[in-house]
Amino acid sequence: MTTETERSAATAELARAKLTACLAGTDWKEEIDPATLQWLAWLWQAEARDTPAKRWANANPRHPTVCKFLRLDPTDPYVPYATHPFRVGQDPDTGKARILVAWPCPRLIDEQDDHLGIQQVLSWAPVANTVEILGDPEPQLAGAFPSYEEGTLFADPFAFFRAWVEARAMWAVDWLASKDQAWRSRPAETDLVPGCLMVGSIERIRWAPSDLPANLTCVGVDPRALNKAIVKAARLPFATNSRSPLRRAA
């Protein structure tokens, strides 16, 4: 993601270069730092691309539908921050209105992030409680585990999203409480995703055992089926006895 601070600094440098070039009668590209120009060119090109992240950025924020299906009180002062990953837009594959969910969620407080660092956009049909990933139909995991020690795996989209907004609301409460306490350091703003959501069946997901935490808590997931899929993906050797006696050498 690029931040508002980075964007403002580059824009100011661009404006300075153009003014200098105008006064000197030169090409403005000769007056700007090459690294800044290269970064701006990349930024403009990235912003012009039609991507799932851009579709999320252009979707409708703070739509009442989000609170309705997440069962939230829209008058709660922490709801706008808690629901920032969620917007209402159109799924390009179905043409139907969906709740689009960005991961990782761009920051709002520590820095103003744009949409370019979003890795996945989930398309949630809340009535059916089903999820797909825009632009990537392959069965996979959405989100991230916070550590290699502990993690939570969800099968139910609503449970996953509800845990996410609750974590974001709790962080907002903690941040606001620390605002008036000079002796206390403010908590750093993070994505706060509660773990990973299975998009697709256990059997079809390409499990990478080395990327999973040592201890997995399952929410709506059969642990036995999951353990079986992980062992199968690990391709561990399996030893058996020989079915025929070894022949003696003549």
Q: Which residues is 98 bridged to in the sheet? A: 89
Do 181 and 137 belong to one domain? yes
Residue 88: pLDDT over 60? yes
Q: Are residues 10 and 134 in the same domain?
A: no
Q: Residue 41 pLDDT > 60, yes or no?
A: yes
Percent over 90 (pLDDT), the chain: 54
pLDDT above 60 for 250: no
Return the higher-pLDDT residue of 192 and 183.
192
H helical segments located in the chain:
4-24, 34-48, 52-58, 64-70, 79-82, 157-179, 223-234
Do 60 and 177 lie in a common domain? yes
Domain extent for 10: 1-48
Instruction: Using the predicted structure, report yes or no on whether residue 198 has a pLDDT greater than 70.
Output: yes
Which range is most confident: 38-52, 101-115, 126-140, 227-241?
A: 126-140
Query: Is 200 in the same domain as 148?
Result: yes
Domain match, 7 and 85 both: no
Does a structural domain hold residue 240?
Answer: no
Query: Residue 211: pLDDT above 70?
Result: yes
- Shared-domain flag, residues 33 and 55: no
The answer to whether residue 29 sits within a structural domain is yes
Q: Which two tokens stand for residue 156?
A: 């139910």
- The answer to whether position 227 is within a domain reads yes
Q: Is residue 170 part of a domain?
A: yes
- 88 plus 195 within the same structural domain: yes
Residues 230 and 157 in one domain: yes
Does the residue 250 lie in any domain?
A: no
Task: Please tell me the distance from the alpha carbon of residue 90 to that of residue 88, in angstroms, as a whole number.
Answer: 7
> Is the residue at 82 inside a domain?
yes
Residue 102's pLDDT is 96
Q: Which residues pair with 113 in a beta bridge?
A: 3
For residues 147-170, average pLDDT:
95
pTM of the model: 0.81
User: Are residue 22 and residue 127 in the same domain, yes or no?
Assistant: no
- Return the pLDDT at 120: 96
Q: How many domains does the chain have?
A: 2
Q: Which candidate, 133, 129, 155, places its Cα nearest to that of 216? A: 155
Same-domain pairing of 107 and 14: no
Three-state SS string over 162-204 comes to HHHHHHHHHHHHHHHHHHCCCCCCCCCCCCCCCCEEEECCCCC
Distances, alpha carbon 196 to alpha carbons 7, 10, 88, 93, 139, in Å: 31, 36, 22, 23, 13
Whether residue 217 sits in one domain with residue 139? yes
pLDDT of residue 94: 81
Residue 65 domain flag: yes
Q: What is the pLDDT of residue 117?
A: 87
More confident residue, 35 or 155: 155
Residues 121 and 225 in one domain: yes
Whether residue 242 is contained in a domain is answered as no
Mean pLDDT rounded to a whole number for the chain? 85
pLDDT of residue 160: 98
Instruction: Give yes or no for residue 245 having a pLDDT over 70.
Output: no
Question: Which amino acid, residue 93?
Answer: D
